[in-house]
Amino acid sequence: MKLLVKGLALAVLPLAVSMVWAADRKSETNTATTTYLQGGGSSLSGVEMYQSTDPTAPPMTKAEFDSGRQIYFDRCAGCHGVLRKGATGKALLPKDMQKLGTENLKVFVGYGTPGGMPGFGTSNELTEKEVELMSRYIQQTPPTPPEWGMKEMMASWKVLIPVEKRPTRKMNNINIDNVFSVTLRDTGEVALIDGDTKKIVAFIKTGFAVHISRISKSGRYLYTTGRDGLINLIDLWMETPQTVATLRTGSDARSIDTSKYKGYDDKIAIAGSYWPPAYVLMDGFTLKPLKIMSTRGYTYDEQEYHPEPRVASIVASHIKPEFVVNVKETGKVLLVDYSDMKNLKTTEIEAERFLHDGGWDSSKRYFLVAANMRNTVSVVDTKEGKLAANVKVGAKPHPGRGANWSDTQYGPVWATGHLGDDTVAVIGTDPAKHKDNAWKVVRSLKNHGSGSLFVKTHPKSRNLWADAALNPDAEVRQSVSVWDLKHLDKPAQVINLAKLAGITEGRTTHPEYNAKGDEVWFSVWGPKNGESALVVMDDKTRKLKTVIKDKRLITPTGKFNVHNTQYDVY
């Protein structure tokens, strides 16, 4: 492929946050081992869909179309949308793609762009043939996946161990409070790791590319959901923790949480889907689906109908019987009152497009969520049930849950990193005692590179850590920045964690503290046919404490500590 610099100025196909590492090459034998390494894909990839005939699009055989569809749903739909109308990534509308043409599109898909899209060819994630195939595929009319309603959900629902047959007390000696649930993206598993001993407790089969693990209010149950819409309910009290119920809420999903308000402990679960665009309320102990609520509707600003407003993130309120549901494409935050399921009350808040992920401030009254394609963080006052502010930040904020601390100069603050620049925005969060600083960027810290996915600190820590996992430079994406919260005027220390782990090819991502707040864990996310590791740093000394390696730890990404996830500590 020839790199057309002029072509790069024509359009930017933005960042595919859900990127995966190199697929097994075509030359490799598809043995049982390589099949295992490949893991599963989006459940949409195997669904038969109508292939339209567009005379202005380049021709594709049925086999080519199906292959392109699978690659698209596995790797591209998360950012560009199932119907390709755009969100974190630009819209990939057929007529616009046809104007660019196959040769220009091959450059974008193969080499990436300065605006943030990774090079799927240069990173060996796609072969040259696959790059050419995808360049033709995105010029076709997008196929529409089938819907998924209560009938399909009930058919998928399985209670493997009924409530009455589960333990009445904890049956193991694991310090559950300090267990980490680690996503193994490409094998369709989570690894449960004892944070005290650093030993692997169990490998549990889940859906493909678990996006998030959430803990029930009691700390007993672990919920996971991911790219194929499958939910696993895992009982941590069992002698060896295992799945006790499953449910598929749709074809693609990202978010799940459980009721945390006093008196509703563990009772209600909620999951949000990318396709179909909806959220589902379930029985928290069995996953039985109770109510499905569509999010299709009109954008808050232009009042245009959108057929695919995806549920990007959900958190449970600690001060009300409510879930905070963030709808990406319409720019609306929904406060869903679950106290009366028959007469469901929902407060609809106009925030900003395109909502992604976020977290609570330290008081757990205000929820801050990134509208990443509008370079904005929206602040929702969940006590009053209204928008508190829209705060302009850097390019494409991506906070994960963000990070809270009490700044020496500005009082309570919350921070986010950015996909599109090398800064960390620090926002004041205390309108009561620090009114002049509230809902403003009070500091802009310099990260060691752009492409940050997560920032993290802990109430017992004096450090702030940030990754740059999606940076195109190997040295940058393998490293992390760490700042002294008492001296934020000083530059960050930059540490290459992949080198500390002895791994030459990988991305360092997702800092997560242990329950005590004296260790911070990172994933060194290597190729799925290569080596990966978890790196444990001593938070006080910033020195390497432990490297956890196991041939079964394939493509580790997110890590969720039970205590910190249970109580929303970040």
Please say if 398 is a catalytic residue. Answer: yes
130 token code pair = 């696959």
Residues 410, 413, 415: CA angle, nearest 5 degrees? 130
User: How far is residue 439's CA from residue 441's CA, in Å, rounded to a whole number?
Assistant: 7
Q: Token pair 């193994």 is at which residue?
A: 184
Annotated active-site residue in 19, 60, 97, 117: 117
List, as one string, the DSSP characters of 286-325.
T--EEEEEE--EE-TTT--EES---EEEEEE-SSSSEEEE
Q: How far is CA 52 from the centre of its chain?
A: 32
User: How far is residue 311's CA from residue 338's CA, in Å, rounded to a whole number?
Assistant: 17
Q: Is 535 helix (H, G, I), strand (E, B) or coil?
A: strand
Pick the closest to residue 563 from 246, 309, 219, 97 (CA basis): 219
User: How far is residue 561's CA from residue 563's CA, in Å, rounded to a whole number?
Assistant: 6
477 token code pair = 């994406």
Q: Is 464 helix (H, G, I), strand (E, B) or coil?
A: strand
Amino acid at 346: T
User: How far is residue 556's CA from residue 193's CA, in Å, rounded to a whole number?
Assistant: 12
Q: Cα separations (Å) of 369 from 87, 152, 432?
A: 15, 32, 21
Q: How many residues does the chain have?
A: 570
Q: Cα separations (Å) of 254 from 3, 45, 212, 214, 394?
A: 34, 17, 7, 12, 24
Please say if 80 is a catalytic residue. Answer: yes
Q: DSSP letter for 111, please.
A: H
Annotated active-site residue in 76, 97, 153, 373: 76
Write the secondary structure of 225-282 as one string of H (helix), E (strand) and C (coil).
EECCCEEEEEECCCCCCEEEEEEECCCEEEEEEECCCCCCCCCEEEEEEEECCEEEEE
Annotated active-site residue in 306, 356, 448, 563: 356
Contact predicate 466/486, CB 8 Å? no
User: How far is residue 327's CA from residue 560's CA, in Å, rounded to a whole number?
Assistant: 23
Q: Token pair 């960027």 is at which residue?
A: 441
Please say if 49 is a catalytic residue. Answer: no
Active site positions, annotated: 76, 79-80, 117, 356, 398
